[in-house]
Chain A
Amino acid sequence: MLTAEHLPTHSRAAKLVLEHVSKWFRTSSLNVHALDDVTLRIAEGEFVCLVGPSGCGKSTLLNIIAGLERPDRGIVQADGQAIIAAGPQRLMMFQEAALFPWLTVLSNVLFGLKLSSGLSAGERRDQAEYFLELVGLKRFMHSNIHELSGGMKQRVALARALAPNPSVLLMDEPFGALDALTREQLYGDIQRIWTQHRKTIVFVTHNVREAVCLGDRVILFSPHPGRIREEFAIPLPRPRDINSVELARYATEITRVLKGYVQPEVAG
């Protein structure tokens, strides 16, 4: 089976194409229309934020791009190839730290490396240490997971996701469970790393400010069924400060539009 992970590195034209993607979740008592006719193109090296209230299918879309779920209808492609399985080309970072508590920090980062690369043990180790250094946690590489704070855990998760050199990074509300101060530090980190490595990043959040702070584009979803309603380009220079007035102006505008989509739902 030829999956994206077996493609030679030169064809990493990390461009995601979603056309008319629909998804339903059926249980015995419910039939939820999670995504309705979603069409989206993401350029290589682009940082795209998906924003919307809960139940708008944005996480489902991320899972579909990751290959963890299949759409019921529509086309999903990475580098012109249909996405048929999960793989280290498109790594996922979750809201809760999905780190493995039975491994040390270093072994967690090595987990994905061992699966994806033809590197020798020494090279894998160098790679892992490089990314731990990048997120500022090399000192803790022999620590156990439970010894880390929430912010440190998400940094390790970031290093683990970056280490196998994926062309696409999928982030599902990765900072949602962190306190504001830690989050702001991580906004800085992720912008710095993105500027250095130029991954294609698809970032899901319900925090509009966060989306404006990070994304080249902010894509607005509305729920029941999940649909793309509007797109906003964010031409602000980087690094961006989440507390800047400029940024707040964009966020206010987007929030106003978002409320327009949510309120009728509540009223009805």
Chain B
Amino acid sequence: MITRWLVALLFFAGLVVVWYLVVKAQIWSPLLLPSPLSVLDYLRAAAQDGTLWEATLVTVRRLLIGYGLGLLAGLPLGLLTASSRWCHDTIGILALGLQTLPSVCWVPLALLWFGQTEAAMLFVVVMGTLWSLIIATDNGVRTIPPIYSRAARSMGSTGLHTWTHVVLPAALPFLLSGMKQGWAFAWRSLMAAEIFVTILTGFGLGHLLHYGRELNAMDQVIGVMLVIVVIGLAVDKTLFAPIEQFLHRRWGTARA
């Protein structure tokens, strides 16, 4: 376990060293490729004056609300499309179609409908999450071997009991990967929305990124990108990894 951590640590330290050496070699202008140290300086300054924390908070709050709404609607709709042919032929096809739409394409529509408001942000996140979640849930439930339901029925399980005690737990590995995908989509949509939509109710990480470009502040651009990556990783490791590990232990699937 410790060696695995060590290997990961060495790898990323190595990346930073390579970055540093490339900057030292002065191949590109420092305006285009700032050194790791100046990025660190920016992050320290932004953390001290609070802009970084505030932006992170605003972004994460939007993300959680939007993702939560997406889950709340997506999971039941996915179960619905999996259990009823009518729903599959209607909502299922709608979801399949809209899922192919890159989430940034929702931004113009959201702006016209909601103006430069928080609602526009959430709308883009929900649209980015919902459809892929519906499809992942639907696929998950359909992939369950029918023998589970038959065995449960033979033991006297019916209706709601079968859903809560057999179908949902059996679909859990698929639901989880759907939720992970949904999370990644939510993250992408929100960043797209924040970069394109300037609103006054909250200044998120996407905005910091956008203004980094406007001000030609490459240290800010790279610094914020790093923060976005770190948040994504942290969520994966704290939110999804424990559930995944539990699933691997129980199901006996390959260990990550």
Provide the residues of chain B in CB contact with A68, threshold 8 Å: 150, 153-154
Cross-chain contact B252 with A101 (CB below 8 angstroms) = yes
Which of B34-42, B96-104, B120-128, B164-172 is found at the contact surface with chain A? Answer: B164-172
CA gap between A87 and B161 in the complex, in Å: 14
Given the known A-B contacts A94-B147, A100-B169, A115-B161, are A86 and B249 also in contact in the complex, defined by CB atoms under 8 Å? no
- In the complex, the chain A residue whose C-beta lies closest to that of B251 is A101
* A to B contact number (C-beta, < 8 Å): 65
Provide the residues of chain B in CB contact with A147, threshold 8 Å: 252
Given the known A-B contacts A146-B251, A147-B252, are A116 and B150 also in contact in the complex, defined by CB atoms under 8 Å? no
Cross-chain contact A87 with B156 (CB below 8 angstroms) = yes
Given the known A-B contacts A92-B150, A102-B172, are A146 and B155 also in contact in the complex, defined by CB atoms under 8 Å? no
Cross-chain contact A144 with B154 (CB below 8 angstroms) = no
CA gap between A123 and B90 in the complex, in Å: 48
- In the complex, the chain B residue whose C-beta lies closest to that of A96 is B147
The answer, yes or no, to whether A215 is at the interface (CB within 8 Å) is: no
Provide the residues of chain A in CB contact with B249, threshold 8 Å: 144
The answer, yes or no, to whether B157 is at the interface (CB within 8 Å) is: yes
Cross-chain contact A86 with B250 (CB below 8 angstroms) = no
- In the complex, the chain A residue whose C-beta lies closest to that of B153 is A86
Interface size on A, residues (CB 8 A): 27
CA gap between A87 and B166 in the complex, in Å: 16
Provide the residues of chain B in CB contact with A94, threshold 8 Å: 147, 150-151
The answer, yes or no, to whether A112 is at the interface (CB within 8 Å) is: yes
Interface residues of A in 74-116 (CB under 8 A from B): 86-88, 90-92, 94, 96, 98, 100-103, 111-112, 115-116
CA gap between A180 and B178 in the complex, in Å: 42
CB distance from B141 to the nearest CB of A (A): 14
Cross-chain contact A100 with B166 (CB below 8 angstroms) = yes
CA gap between A68 and B156 in the complex, in Å: 11
The answer, yes or no, to whether A164 is at the interface (CB within 8 Å) is: yes
The answer, yes or no, to whether B148 is at the interface (CB within 8 Å) is: yes
Binding site for A on B (CB under 8 A): 147-148, 150-157, 161, 165-166, 169-170, 172, 249-252
List 28 interface pairs A-B (beta carbons < 8 Å), by A numbering: A5-B156, A68-B150, A68-B154, A86-B154, A86-B156, A87-B156, A90-B154, A91-B154, A91-B155, A92-B151, A92-B154, A94-B147, A94-B150, A94-B151, A98-B148, A100-B166, A101-B170, A101-B250, A102-B172, A102-B250, A111-B165, A112-B156, A115-B156, A144-B251, A145-B252, A146-B252, A160-B155, A164-B156
Closest 5 CB pairs of A and B: A146-B252, A98-B151, A112-B155, A92-B154, A102-B169
